[in-house]
């Protein structure tokens, strides 16, 4: 049975954030709020937790996973970013975007796209997610919480509890969220390519 924390959306309780980080560090799988629906997360180096996430979402290990980062300095450690793209990111983060980059050697190989050696990167604006990342001190391995057979991200924490309380270790209730996924921009070519239009405004990258 998972734990269920009611989080203040603007001033998350420090005690609960620390408990959540301890669960992640012990190999747990959590559900947490972002600026585009809820997501599943686990420790970046935990293969067993990643396998659990794959089972929950009914996806293969070939799925494009995302590292959720606290800020641009953390992003630059895991993604190959040139100066021009860094300036674009600086003007548009944090926010509801997923950026696709070539991964650095710091990214575990099992998280990289097998063919392209790419990784998704996010810097969320959600305060609960930001405090979680600040306390964790490293990116969170993550994927949007889309249950098998559905197309949109889960947004109702009580329904998530009904569906997943026996499958995850912790659910952080940050209230009702939007159902739209992130806008996805590919930075692996000479210019940004918009792969999906979601919650984030694509115009700055067009």
Pairwise CA distance, residues 142 & 124, whole Å: 12
The confidence score (pLDDT) of residue 151 equals 83
The H-or-E segment that residue 37 falls in is none
Segment 175-196 shows an average pLDDT of 90
If we measure between CA atoms, which residue out of 8, 138, 5, 9 comes closest to residue 77? 138
On the CB side of 24, CA atoms within 13 Å amount to 27
Task: Please name the fold of domain 3-205.
Answer: DHBP synthase (3.90.870)
Where do the structural domains in the chain lie, given as residue ranges?
3-205
Whether the ω angle into residue 94 lies within 30 degrees of 0, i.e. cis, is yes
Decide if 132 contacts 139 (C-beta within 8 A). no
- pLDDT tens column, 126-151: 999 999 999 999 999 999 999 998 88
- Residue 133 — left, alpha, or beta (φ > 0 → left; ψ -120 to 50 → alpha)? alpha
> What pLDDT, in 10s, does the model give residues 23-35?
999 999 999 999 8
């Amino acid at each position: 049975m998972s734990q269920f924390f009611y989080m203040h959306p603007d001033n998350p309780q420090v005690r609960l954030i620390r408990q959540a980080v301890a669960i992640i560090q012990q190999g747990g799988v959590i559900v947490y709020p972002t600026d585009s629906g809820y997501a599943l997360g686990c420790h970046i180096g935990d293969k067993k937790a990643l396998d659990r996430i794959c089972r929950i979402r009914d996806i293969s290990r070939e799925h494009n996973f995302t590292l959720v980062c606290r800020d641009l300095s953390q992003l630059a450690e895991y993604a190959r970013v040139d100066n021009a793209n860094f300036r674009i990111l600086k003007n548009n983060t944090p926010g509801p975007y997923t950026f696709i980059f070539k991964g650095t050697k710091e990214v575990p190989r099992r998280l990289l796209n097998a063919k392209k050696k790419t990784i998704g990167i996010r810097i969320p604006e959600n305060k609960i997610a930001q405090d979680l990342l600040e306390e964790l001190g490293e990116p969170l391995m993550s994927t949007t919480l889309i249950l098998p057979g559905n197309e949109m991200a889960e947004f109702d924490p009580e329904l998530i509890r009904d569906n997943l309380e026996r499958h995850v270790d912790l659910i952080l209730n940050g209230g009702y969220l939007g159902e739209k996924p992130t806008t996805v921009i590919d930075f692996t070519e000479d210019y940004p390519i918009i792969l999906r239009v979601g919650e984030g405004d694509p115009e700055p990258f067009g």
